[in-house]
Amino acid sequence: TFVITQACCNDASCVAVCPVQCIRPRPGDSDFATTEQLYIDPATCIDCGACAYECPVDAIFPEEDLPPPLADFRDINADYFALHPLEDVRPLPVKRHRLPDATTEFRVAVIGAGPSA
């Protein structure tokens, strides 16, 4: 698993790239404004490394590469999810974009291309 440590700047760029959405809290979550840092759920993280690559302050480490002074953050991340289980967090609303109806557009194009009387 990956671990977020004390340099976390809460900019949440990691939240946006996590493919399994296991970084909390997210912008819009009730405790986002007051959190000291963001946390990774060790039970859900798939070790892809995307968050560490995205982090602007290099606050995220693979568990096995945690510098010794930051070792406590392994438990600090896990403890957050003991209090805020991932499955209890309501998904944020997803912005849906209505795609154009291709069939209608095709029909309009065909009718429009017909011979004029």
CA dist 55 and 10 (Å) reads 10
Tell whether residue 85 is a contact of ligand SF4 (CB under 6 A).
no
- Single out the residue of 7, 9, 43, 46 in contact with ligand SF4 (rule: CB under 6 A): 46
As measured in angstroms, the least distance from the Cβ of 18 to ligand SF4 is 3
Residue 116 tokens, joined? 């004029």
Site string for ligand SF4, 2-41 (x = CB under 6 A): x--------------xxxx-xx----------------x-
List, in sequence order, every residue forming a beta bridge with 62; answer none if it has no partner: 2
Residue 56 interacts with ligand SF4 (CB under 6 A): yes or no = no
Q: Where are the beta strands (DSSP E) in the chain?
A: 2-4, 23-24, 39-40, 60-62
62 phi/psi in degrees, rounded to 5: -60, 145
Binding residues for ligand SF4, rule: CB under 6 A, are 2, 17-20, 22-23, 40, 45-51
